[in-house]
Structure 1
Amino acid sequence: MDIVTSFSLLNNSHDAIVEAINKIDEKIAPPSLLLVYFSEDYDCNILQATLTEHYPNTPFLACSSCQGFMTEEGYIKGHGLALWAINDIVGAYGTSIISSNNSMFNIARQAILKAINNSGRIGESPALILLHATPGSEEEVIRGIEDVVGKNIAIIGGSAADDNVEGKWHIFNQEQQTQQGIGISVFYPNCEISFSFHSGYAATEYSAIATKVRGRDVIELDHQPAADVYQKWIQQKFEINSSIINESSLNPLGRLVGTIHDLPYFKLAHPLMVTQTNGLKMFASIIEGERLYFMTGTDERLITRAGRVITATNGIKLNPIGGLTIYCAGCMLKVQQRMKEVAVYVNIAMHNKPFVCPFTFGEQGQFITGENAHGNLMISAVVFHRD
């Protein structure tokens, strides 16, 4: 069993995907599964057609990434595409894309069933589910997947992204492509796998109850306009309907998930903007009645935590073959000038084994307690390793 990566920085869509494919072919036999991460300005029709022609028997799943990606060769800024390939003649893999913006719970059920069917392991639960949905209903998608396979199967992934939050994201596989829907890959690998999902932020003394919520808009905190409360906490004033992604990236809102050794851990929600009604539009859904904690982070934590998250999988101690890492686009943009350092920490944690890391608009992972969740400003990682 082998894992390899490649990338191309060429501007032309056909030339770029051919260059990346040729590099893969030099390293590995025909892949059992191919993952593709690419910039928003590549032509998905060309990428899809070229991959399908070259790998007619290989399932693949592709997802757009924000302003670059990482591999074991380092941080790639801006324009480019990356391939991650696994050759596993004993294992099984399948992908699916379902395009829709209605009843995402039911669409997720269809997507996971289709991916399992495409893997040839009908009736058998996968060891791992990789999720790449378009932003908006990730919590509902997770519930739909779990309704089919149960809550014990690890879901890792990241929401499709573009460069400037303009809806230019895409996902596709060998059968379909969409800007509104769900992409899934199921893994039945012939190796051990380990996971980790962390935020790296700490709660401050400030918190409030979400007393009025509409979808992903938090309208009131403790019966006061949510934006007023948040701006008091962060000690900044924001314009209505203007992005506050960068300003809020070190101070998201946290929801308590549980405790480990008496230490609390959180899933995060990233404020996107102040709404016309003086609420907060978020990148994750908030449940009315939840207590939201004002979280704090530092640039140094954002730079070093990716390596710590991978090390926390424990799989790194067991002869790693390779891995996947999902790193929040908001965090990347906050420390973009130091992302080469992030790549170094990930490489050290991975023992320089092949990995790929897109920058996403929402992260999915499994906490140490076994709960699958969607959050923001998080890092999700999976390590494939030999016994």
Structure 2
Amino acid sequence: MRVLSLDKAAELPKDSVRWALAFTSDSEDVDRILRLPFPTFGITSHGGVFTSKGYVRGTYLLVSERDDEVNARSYLVGGNVHTIEEPLRDVARDILENFGLPDMVMIFPTLGLEERVVRTLDDAFSRKVRIFGGTAADNDFSGDWWTFANGRKANSGVSVVAFKSPNPILSTFHAGYILTKRSGVITRASHPEGGGTTIYEIDGKPAAQVYASWLKERGFDIGDVLEKGGIIPFEIAGLNPIARVYGDDIVVSHVFEVLPKENALSVLSHINEGERVYHATATESFLVSRTAVTVRKSLKEMLSIIGGVLIYCAGCIAPISGRLDEIAKIYGKMVKGAPFVGAATYGEQGSLIVEGRIMNFHANQMIHTVLFTKER
């Protein structure tokens, strides 16, 4: 595998490439990506793309060549929350009939579709397949995000890629936050049509006030937002998600907005009534160093990494905006100089092994990696 700019990738002969994964911070490049003569899939990324050069603007592709032995079968499904499930089931059926049970499925949904995509594919594959991916992003939250595959793009939809290889495809889904002692049970919540969760009460108390009290104990004040409502500053929210515990792992959710009329919180992933949530926290250094932990958890001896994919939450970028090149440098060192690309996403999808079984999630403020390998 190798990483190329869009201009360099466009010069490659069609027959030399198995597939290419493209991340771009420039939505105007998407139509050029669609014209590439080999199977290409990916999403738009927030602000830049992680490469060995750092966190850089532009379009970069992880290109799989013929001798890599990593096969991929890609699809684009356009749709909304009402229409996405049936075509996704058709995609899963086609994968099973014409490709076989994949080693991994990578998804690139748009905002609000993540839970339905994960749930539908999880059911279709009988919870036997790891699902990893990231939500398409833009640079200013204006909605100029795109997912694409097979010469087509969608502003609302998902690209789905099934992978198979004779060599292990490694993966890790990691939070990188520390649980505090502050927690509570969701006692009233609803799930808006556009995705996520509105949390009205924690332990029977107004959720926004509970969260604000948790933040206050860490020295963060959101009094103005609590009174007037609105988006919680990313510099605060990025360091203070809420988390759920699964075995030895945690899955975190971005507390996005205060709804003042209801004294409620808008959270960008699905949480059910009756679940216990914890106030999780991190420092800037934690959000940078978790890159190394994520790769280290994936690595196995006697395997050579031939390519890597990094998914990093865009909501965590604000607190560490001056250290994004450092993340790319750490990741490059951990994968021992192997080619890699990474995207900053509006949501992260990944897999954990809980009590011996695969559990696939949509979450926020996470980091994950996929590593393609060969035996040494």
Which of the numbers 15, 33, 49 marks the counterpart of 1:69? 49
Q: What whole-Å deviation, never above 9, does each CA across 1:211-241 have from its counterpart, x for those lacking one?
A: 1111121121112221111111102222412
Task: Write out aligned runs for 1:228-377 (5 A).
Answer: 228-235=209-216, 236=221, 237=223, 238=225, 239-259=228-248, 265-276=249-260, 277-315=262-300, 318-369=303-354, 370-377=358-365
Q: What whole-Å deviation, never above 9, does each CA across 1:171-224 have from its counterpart, x for those lacking one?
A: 112243111111111111242211111101111111111111111211211122
Superposition CA RMSD, Å: 2.1
> Are the counterparts in 2 of residues 315 and 385 from structure 1 also a CA contact under 8 Å?
no
Which of the numbers 32, 39, 45 marks the counterpart of 2:18? 32
Task: Write out aligned runs for 1:152-163 (5 A).
Answer: 152-163=128-139
1:223 aligned residue: 204
Aligned mates of 1:148, 1:75 — CA distance in 2: 36
> Are the counterparts in 1 of residues 314 and 346 from structure 2 also a CA contact under 8 Å?
yes
Aligned mates of 1:343, 1:159 — CA distance in 2: 19
Count of residue pairs brought into register by the alignment:
356
Q: Does 1:4 align with 2:2?
A: yes
1:83 aligned residue: 61
Change (3 A) 1:84 1:174: same
> Are the counterparts in 1 of residues 64 and 70 from structure 2 also a CA contact under 8 Å?
no
Which of the numbers 126, 130, 152 marks the counterpart of 1:176? 152
Aligned mates of 1:338, 1:223 — CA distance in 2: 40
Letter in 2 for 1:304: S
Q: Does 1:100 align with 2:84?
A: no
Q: What whole-Å deviation, never above 9, does each CA across 1:117-162 have from its counterpart, x for those lacking one?
A: 7xxx616111111110001131221111122222121111101111
Change (3 A) 1:135 1:168: same
Change (3 A) 1:356 1:43: closer
Letter in 2 for 1:371: M
Deviation (angstroms), 1:39: 1.8
Aligned mates of 2:303, 2:75 — CA distance in 1: 31
Deviation (angstroms), 1:45: 3.0
2:194 aligned residue: none
Q: What whole-Å deviation, never above 9, does each CA across 1:38-65 have from its counterpart, x for those lacking one?
A: 12541533431x21xxx1xx22112010
> Are the counterparts in 2 of residues 245 and 273 from structure 1 also a CA contact under 8 Å?
no
Aligned mates of 2:44, 2:103 — CA distance in 1: 25
Aligned mates of 1:38, 1:316 — CA distance in 2: 33
Aligned mates of 1:266, 1:138 — CA distance in 2: 19
Taking structure 1 as the reference length, the TM-score comes to 0.86
Change (3 A) 1:319 1:44: closer
Aligned mates of 1:268, 1:61 — CA distance in 2: 27
> Are the counterparts in 2 of residues 40 and 169 from structure 1 also a CA contact under 8 Å?
no
1:47 aligned residue: 33
Deviation (angstroms), 1:349: 0.7
Aligned mates of 1:355, 1:316 — CA distance in 2: 20
Letter in 2 for 1:128: M
Higher mean alpha-carbon deviation, 149-158 vs 348-357, is at 149-158
1:194 aligned residue: 170
Aligned mates of 2:256, 2:49 — CA distance in 1: 22
Taking structure 2 as the reference length, the TM-score comes to 0.89
Question: Percent of counterpart pairs with the same letter?
Answer: 28
Deviation (angstroms), 1:353: 0.3
Aligned mates of 2:326, 2:32 — CA distance in 1: 33
Q: Gaps spanning 5+ residues in structure 2: where?
A: 192-196
Aligned mates of 1:316, 1:308 — CA distance in 2: 16
> Are the counterparts in 2 of residues 308 and 349 from structure 1 also a CA contact under 8 Å?
no
Aligned mates of 1:353, 1:202 — CA distance in 2: 30
2:368 aligned residue: 380
1:142 aligned residue: 118
SS at match of 1:336: helix
Aligned mates of 1:251, 1:156 — CA distance in 2: 24
SS at match of 1:228: helix
Deviation (angstroms), 1:20: 4.3
Q: What whole-Å deviation, never above 9, does each CA across 1:4-63 have from its counterpart, x for those lacking one?
A: 1123xxxxxxxxx334433xx39x962111111112541533431x21xxx1xx221120
